[in-house]
Structure 1
């Protein structure tokens, strides 16, 4: 049942090609999604009703709809409205939206965890709202949010496996193609799983290390 060396040698170029696309989608989804999450977090905390309502709508839809539904909506639904989106861009847009919606809550909770006394001190010093955000709230809030953001990044990497449903030639799609030709689904999917694990497990260990370091720092 396990793949032999000849099969691994034959399959790896295609699997690595798909693996590269999975990493690219993850990178761009996080690159766009985390700053988008910050914007949404600030929007939800804003005093203006319109900005708060728009931000809440984006967050609730992004969190409430499964990533698979967002993928299908952007890749299949938007073309019916006259907006064509390629599978690579659709994957990034959907996962970035999903990332932004979830990380906005992580970031918002981190910002709210900062003692109110520091906000009051900033106001007493006459700091502008933007300077207070840049120099006091964000540095501390993002440090608190970092472990959770890294943990969510692992989930987004794993969620790229859903992109085979929109014809993106990522890792799972490549594995299915090989399986459909060789009928060796078990070993090729096992190899794909090991490739996912090669990123997810070290990343999870890194998150655990950062959480422990942050706990020691907080206890001082």
Structure 2
């Protein structure tokens, strides 16, 4: 019963942190997924220099932990460019957007490559230009193939917002630590924070499975 009483008292304090986590996740996906699409498209560019640069950026983004990217953005950017002011909210959104772009580029590239060759041949037979074929045929179908994996990655990004407590962003985990430091009831508040995360991730995981079944039925 003590846990229940604690949770009733903590929910109003943790709720704003959950909203911050969701907002940062939304911004990271809003800017990161289009960035991933651009990287996926240019990773197959006929120019070897462009292709090498894009692949290098993707590998660098995938090989660097999100926590390191977060710290570099928050502490490094202002030291290099003092005129640029980044608060913890913007820094977290930007860092996770960069990480999202790097990882989703591979997810989307796999979706683009899954488009049947017959679709490309049909577009060529109709006299469509390569850019129109890419924009009107390949990208819409490729994104559709990639949707289940993108939803799964969105769950990981939501969980990764917990890293932003290291730069004092008042997200869910940071709020939980703040409550724990004042009440010393860390177990109780962290369990509640875990339930908050599960409240988002479990339905999202179910949505991923549903999307996969729908896609498999279509194929």
The TM-score, its normalising length taken from structure 1, stands at 0.94
Q: Distance in 1 between matches of 2:210 and 2:2?
A: 34
Partner of 1:100: 101
Alignment pair present for 1:137 and 2:146: no
With over 3 angstroms needed to count, the CA separation of the structure-2 counterparts of 1:195 and 1:61, relative to structure 1, is same
Q: Deviations over 1:24-54 (max 9, x none)?
A: 0000100101010000001111112332233
Q: Which residue of 2 aligns with 1:17?
A: 16
Give the Cα–Cα distance (whole angstroms) in 1 for the partners of residues 198 and 57 of structure 2. 31
- CA drift of 1:201 comes to 0.2
Moved over 4 A (4+): none
Tell me which residue corresponds to 2:148. 147
**After superposition, where does 1:58-207 map in structure 2 within 5 Å?**
58-82=57-81, 83-207=84-208
Unaligned runs of 5+ in 2: none
Q: Size of the alignment, in residue pairs?
A: 217
RMSD between superposed Cα atoms in Å: 1.4
For residues 2 and 208 of structure 1, what CA distance do their matches in structure 2 show?
36
- The runs of 5 or more residues in structure 1 that have no matched partner are none
Paired residues of 2:7 and 2:188 also in contact (CA < 8 A): no
